[in-house]
Every structure is written in C-alpha cells, then in structure tokens.
Amino acid sequence: MILLLLSGCGALNGKPAGEELNLVLAGMDGSDAVSFEGAAALLIGGQPVSESALYYGGKIEDHNKVSLYSLLPDKPGMTKAAAQEGLNKLEKSRSATPAYYTRLEKKDGEWQIQSAASPESGAGNPLAALNPLRQLEELEHLEKQVTEETGSGRGSKVLRIQLSPGEARRQLKAELEQEMQAIRPEAGKAQDTAGRRTEVAAAMNTLWVQKENELQQKLAEAEITSVYFLKVDNKRNLPKRLTWTRTVSYPASADPAEVETYVTKVDFYGYH
C-alpha cells in the first residue's frame, strides 16, 4: 500500500485510482447534457471574505457548450453541509450576490466566451473561470497524485486528487498572468492628438509593471497546495460533486492573515 501511495495511485476496485479518474472523465464526455450548481469563495487567515462569495448554476450541453449564471444566496438546495472546514465557513458567509451570466463554447481546443453580462458596477465577470467542464478536463493532464478517500457514502466513491507542488505553482501562475494581461494598459488607446503617449498613460503602464513585479515576487515566495475531491456515482461512474481547495501560504511569515485559501464546490445532476 505504501508503494502504491508513493507511486501516485491507490488501488480502487481492482483498478489504480488514476485509471478510475480517467474512466469517470470519459463518462462525463459521453453525457449529452448535465446541470450543475456551485459556490466559490476566498478565505484569508481562515476567515471568509464575504464579498468574494459567489453562488452559481448552469448547464453543459453538446459536450462543448456551457452556460453559467449567478444564484441568490438563499437558493434552495444550496444549504447542504460541506465536509471540509473551508466549505462550512463558505456556507455561513453568504451575502448579496451581483447578477452575472456567461455562455462559453469550446472551439479549436479553447474555451471562448460567446456572450456575457456583468453588473452595471463594471466588475469583471468571474464565471468563465468557474467552468466545471474545463476544471474536469484539466484534471486529466495535470501532474498529480490520485488516491481513494475512505468513508465515502453508500453508492459512491471519492477520489482525492492532489497536484504536485510544481504543477500547483504553474497552474496559479498561468491564471494570474492571464488576469494581469487582461488589465494591462493598451498602448494604442494611450496616445494624445500628437500621437505621443500621455503622462497618464505612462503612469498607468509604470504602475502595471510595478504590480506585475510585486506579483511575481510574491509568487516566488509562496508555498502552494492544490487539492481536489471528486465524488463519483458508483452505478453510472459519473461525477456527483467536485470540490477544490487551493492554499497559498508564505513560510517566511508567521502572520496567519498571510494564508489565502480559495475554495470551490460544484454539484452535478440531471445527466442525460
């Protein structure tokens, strides 16, 4: 058993856990449509940041189309007790949620936004990053260790998927770089009538470069862990729930407020 765990896959019903994961992901690919409801939040120092909580629902259709929309905090069915402490805190931190909508489609191997709506406040639409089908697809290719959790409910099994430290860092770095590029000042829009960059545009770009350097420095100092739990329906071999916890800490700091934990969960139902 020790050798199996060290090799990255525990035995599960006679199959390596990694192989079981691949079978579940293949079963998901074979479903024409499925509905889902989920939640996401950020915890700092173990305490939920109320404004970060987001509750959403949606549907996957034709294997490559996903629609997502935000849900009100008191949505029926969104009060299920969570197994992990972070999820329990997430459930207790519900606050008013702005309205969002996003429709995505996978084309040429990339997920593209087909339409989206955000609050009039101008805040960015966060739903594209919560696409559960993309999250499941990524699990197939990430460097990871897959084992079975004990004590899962009757008729189901739970796979624990932990990314290697290097993979967890690469994953977060790619996400942060994408977000930074999205807010980078555009040189073409930062010119005055004489075609020269304005002082405001130059200051904006200087600030962006400064924040980018600070971000890279923080990332270099951080210790990152990324763990998924995939609950699977034994009978149909299909996902029932996916939870994900990413923790970012700084070993050189003794301040608990420096520990950031991002938690998501999504429940799947109505397969056909």
Distances (CA, A) of 263 to 3, 97, 160: 30, 17, 15
Q: How far apart are CA 71 and CA 39, in angstroms?
A: 9
Which of 33-47, 83-97, 174-188 has the highest average model confidence (pLDDT)? 33-47
Q: Would residue 164 be called left, alpha or beta, if left means φ above 0 and alpha means ψ between -120 and 50 degrees?
A: beta
Residue with tokens 């996401």: 40
Could you tell me the pLDDT band of residue 8, with boundaries at 50, 70 and 90?
very low
Give 232-272 pLDDT, tens digit per residue. Answer: 998 889 999 999 999 999 988 878 778 999 999 999 999 98
User: In the numeric block, which tokens belong to residue 227?
Assistant: 């763990």
Which of 77-81, 82-86, 164-168 has the highest average model confidence (pLDDT)? 164-168
The pLDDT value given to residue 172: 95
The pLDDT value given to residue 253: 82
Pairing of strands 33-44, 260-269: antiparallel
Phi and psi for 235 in degrees, rounded to 5? -70, -45
- The secondary structure of 61-78 as a DSSP string is ETTTEEEEEE--TT-TT-
Give 131-186 pLDDT, tens digit per residue. Answer: 999 999 999 899 999 999 887 777 889 999 999 999 999 999 999 998 898 888 87
The pLDDT value given to residue 17: 84
Could you tell me the pLDDT band of residue 5, with boundaries at 50, 70 and 90?
very low
User: In the numeric block, which tokens belong to residue 66?
Assistant: 């996903």
Flag the least confident range among 106-110, 123-127, 204-208, 256-260.
123-127
Residue with tokens 């079963």: 27
The pLDDT value given to residue 119: 56
Domain range spanning residue 115?
2-269
Q: How many domains does the chain have?
A: 1
User: In the numeric block, which tokens belong to residue 134?
Assistant: 């993309």
Q: How far apart are CA 212 and CA 36, in angstroms?
A: 35
pTM (2 decimals)? 0.80
